[in-house]
């Protein structure tokens, strides 16, 4: 399959045009004219990072939302931040489950790769880990307790837990990996324990934001550690790689606490059965649904394996202390009075095998939903899934079920809030961190361009809009795009049972 038909990164010709455009735009905006070496195609010959520089290679997450992998090079070593998957384009979805950078290309630097540090446990940040470690990549992994437990559960299922090394660090903790001094910073997002990473080197500090928003009341975990961000900014930040998901629009300040209040009012007012459908890893959202349901005198169960796994993991770590337990099986809700029934389930992206689609089909293991009952899709629909979601919703509506969406509200309170920063929150972060250079990540081209404009307005010396697999050089004297390395993608498929199978490299690559 060619790069063109799979949505893979574009070739070098486009890349060069992009770099020229960026430089032209920087000059037009009055940014510092950075030294720009001749653009090189490094192919498989990666440069050895020097003591006086930080090299940055975003392997994914640029021009797309997904597959976040970023390599940092310094003093002869490389550090990887996140190893997620991208979901395949629709035309590949039958055979291909996920896309990752092909680990074969890491062979030239495998001996210099000192570790993987994980920012949080979303699929687009950790989805590749249990498929590639330890089969194709063996470096040790660092993660917060929640992300570590989520990874361990997967390694256990794959039978490879004994063959990987996972260190944990507390949220806000510091640790060293080779020549990199890493300080984690507590952020807020739509999953427990999201962290930003201040990566300290002899050539300067790079702040890798991870996914974040400023949630004043995240319910699970404490709000963002603004003092740490300001302190890191005071000490001087060479560059920031930061989330661009909502960079094109200002957003009101929103919080999980608002969604919980919306759930409370909804559960109290509805007389029929209510189902809340959301992302399984959004533990605060699941906890809110459980709490609001219990307060309205309902029994509540979870439906969906991934949701039960995330809930179990969170509970085992004490993250859900004080929250009511869920029923062991959704079938235990059957036969209860309708006003006493609540369900929290997966499938908000219209997935055919997930709980919501089963509910819509009238699966007998779930309570029967019909006239007078309500389903809330408490999530954003990922672009590309609209049709599948609509199919499930229309099935529910044909049964008489009222379907509410994430952009609906109860008394002005949202039924879903985004986990990513709007332009206003981004500006606030830039004012705290004050990086010299901005490298927007985690966004499509439109998001990256909007983020770069914003960063320049906030006074960065230059904002570099790059392509995947480009090699960026940062030194105290400037920043430039050196060229690109060869980094093809790998398609991961499912086995006959629909489970993702670990990638086993061919003998020649092992």
Most distant pair of Cα atoms in the chain: their distance:
72
Do you know the residue count of the chain? 510
DSSP alpha helix (H) spans, 110-163? 123-126, 129-132, 145-158
Min CB(191)–Zn ion separation in Å: 6
Min CB(338)–Zn ion separation in Å: 35
- Record the tokens describing residue 509, joined without a space: 């690559």
What number of chain residues touch Zn ion (CB under 5 A)? 3
Kindly indicate which of the ranges 114-122, 253-261, 295-303, 357-365 contains the residues binding Zn ion, using the contact rule CB under 5 A: 114-122
Q: Which is nearer to Zn ion, 116 or 375 (CB)?
A: 116
Q: How far is CA 395 from the centre of its chain?
A: 30
Min CB(481)–Zn ion separation in Å: 23
Q: Which is nearer to Zn ion, 19 or 149 (CB)?
A: 149
Buried/exposed code over 39-71 (b: 16+ C-beta within 10 A; e: otherwise): beebeeebbebbeebbbbbbbbbbbbbbbbbbb
Q: Which is nearer to Zn ion, 211 or 468 (CB)?
A: 211
Q: Which is nearer to Zn ion, 124 or 458 (CB)?
A: 124
**Span 185-224, contacts to Zn ion by CB under 5 A:** 211
**Span 320-349, contacts to Zn ion by CB under 5 A:** none
CA-nearest of 420, 460, 422 to 247 is 422
Q: Which is nearer to Zn ion, 124 or 467 (CB)?
A: 124
Q: Which is nearer to Zn ion, 211 or 373 (CB)?
A: 211
Min CB(406)–Zn ion separation in Å: 16
The only residue of 53, 123, 124, 461 in contact with Zn ion, by rule CB under 5 A:
124
- Cβ pair 286, 302 in contact under 8 A: yes
Q: Which is nearer to Zn ion, 124 or 311 (CB)?
A: 124
- Cβ pair 14, 458 in contact under 8 A: no
Q: Which is nearer to Zn ion, 436 or 442 (CB)?
A: 442
Please state, in angstroms and rounded to a whole number, the distance separating the CA atoms of residues 269 and 377.
Answer: 18
Measured from the Cβ of residue 249, the count of other Cβ atoms closer than 10 Å reads: 10
CA-nearest of 295, 238, 304 to 72 is 238
Kindly indicate which of the ranges 124-132, 271-279, 333-341, 466-474 contains the residues binding Zn ion, using the contact rule CB under 5 A: 124-132
DSSP alpha helix (H) spans, 138-191? 145-158
Kindly indicate which of the ranges 90-98, 116-124, 317-325, 498-506 contains the residues binding Zn ion, using the contact rule CB under 5 A: 116-124
Min CB(124)–Zn ion separation in Å: 4
Does the footprint of Zn ion cover residue 461 (CB under 5 A)? no
Min CB(353)–Zn ion separation in Å: 23
Please state, in angstroms and rounded to a whole number, the distance separating the CA atoms of residues 155 and 133.
Answer: 9
The only residue of 64, 74, 77, 122 in contact with Zn ion, by rule CB under 5 A:
122
DSSP alpha helix (H) spans, 1-107? 12-28
Kindly indicate which of the ranges 121-129, 292-300, 385-393, 405-413 contains the residues binding Zn ion, using the contact rule CB under 5 A: 121-129
Pairing of strands 69-74, 77-83: antiparallel
Binding site for Zn ion (CB under 5 A): 122, 124, 211
């Amino acid at each position: 399959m060619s790069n063109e038909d799979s949505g893979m990164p574009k070739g070098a010709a486009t890349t060069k045009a992009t770099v020229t455009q960026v430089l032209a735009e920087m000059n037009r905006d009055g940014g510092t004219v950075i030294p720009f070496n001749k653009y090189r195609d490094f192919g498989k010959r990666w440069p050895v990072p020097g003591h006086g520089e930080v090299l940055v290679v975003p392997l994914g997450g640029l021009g797309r939302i997904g597959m976040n992998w970023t390599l940092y090079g310094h003093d002869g070593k490389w550090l990887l931040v996140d190893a997620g998957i991208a979901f395949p384009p629709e035309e590949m979805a039958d055979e291909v489950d996920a896309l990752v950078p092909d680990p074969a290309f890491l062979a030239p630097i495998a001996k210099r790769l000192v570790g993987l540090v994980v920012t949080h446990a979303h699929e687009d940040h950790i989805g590749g880990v249990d498929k590639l470690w330890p089969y194709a990549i063996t470096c040790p992994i660092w993660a917060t307790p929640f992300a570590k437990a989520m990874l361990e559960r997967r390694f256990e299922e794959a039978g490879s837990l004994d063959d990987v090394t996972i260190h944990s660090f507390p949220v806000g903790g510091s640790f060293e990996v080779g020549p990199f001094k890493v300080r984690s910073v507590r952020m807020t997002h739509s999953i427990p324990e999201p962290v930003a990473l201040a990566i300290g080197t002899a050539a300067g500090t790079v702040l890798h934001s991870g996914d974040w928003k400023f949630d004043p009341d995240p319910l699970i975990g404490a709000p963002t550690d603004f003092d740490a961000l300001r302190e890191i900014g005071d000490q001087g930040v060479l560059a920031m790689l930061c989330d661009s998901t909502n960079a094109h629009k200002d957003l009101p300040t929103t919080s999980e606490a608002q969604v919980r209040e919306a759930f409370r009012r909804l559960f109290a007012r509805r007389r029929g059965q209510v189902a809340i459908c959301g992302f399984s890893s959004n533990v605060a959202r699941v906890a809110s649904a459980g709490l609001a349901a219990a307060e309205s005198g309902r029994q509540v169960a979870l439906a969906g394996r991934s949701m039960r796994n995330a809930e179990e993991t969170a509970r085992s770590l004490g993250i859900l202390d004080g929250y009511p337990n869920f029923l062991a099986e959704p079938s235990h809700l059957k036969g209860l009075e309708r006003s006493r029934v609540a369900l929290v389930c997966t499938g908000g992206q219209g997935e055919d095998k997930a709980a919501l689609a089963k509910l819509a089909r009238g699966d007998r293991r779930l309570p029967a939903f019909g006239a007078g009952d309500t389903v809330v899709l408490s999530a954003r629909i990922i672009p590309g899934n609209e049709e599948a979601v609509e199919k499930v919703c229309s099935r529910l509506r044909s049964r008489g079920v009222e379907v509410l969406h994430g952009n609906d509200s109860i008394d002005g309170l949202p039924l879903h809030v985004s986990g990513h920063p709007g332009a206003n929150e981004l500006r606030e972060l830039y004012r705290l961190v004050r990086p010299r250079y901005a490298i927007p990540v985690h966004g499509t081209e439109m998001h990256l361009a909007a983020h770069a404009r914003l960063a320049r307005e906030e006074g960065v010396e230059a904002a570099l809009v790059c392509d995947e697999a480009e090699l960026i050089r940062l030194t105290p004297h400037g920043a430039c795009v050196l060229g690109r390395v060869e980094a093809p993608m790998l398609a991961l498929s499912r086995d006959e049972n629909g489970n993702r199978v670990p990638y086993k490299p061919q003998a020649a690559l092992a």
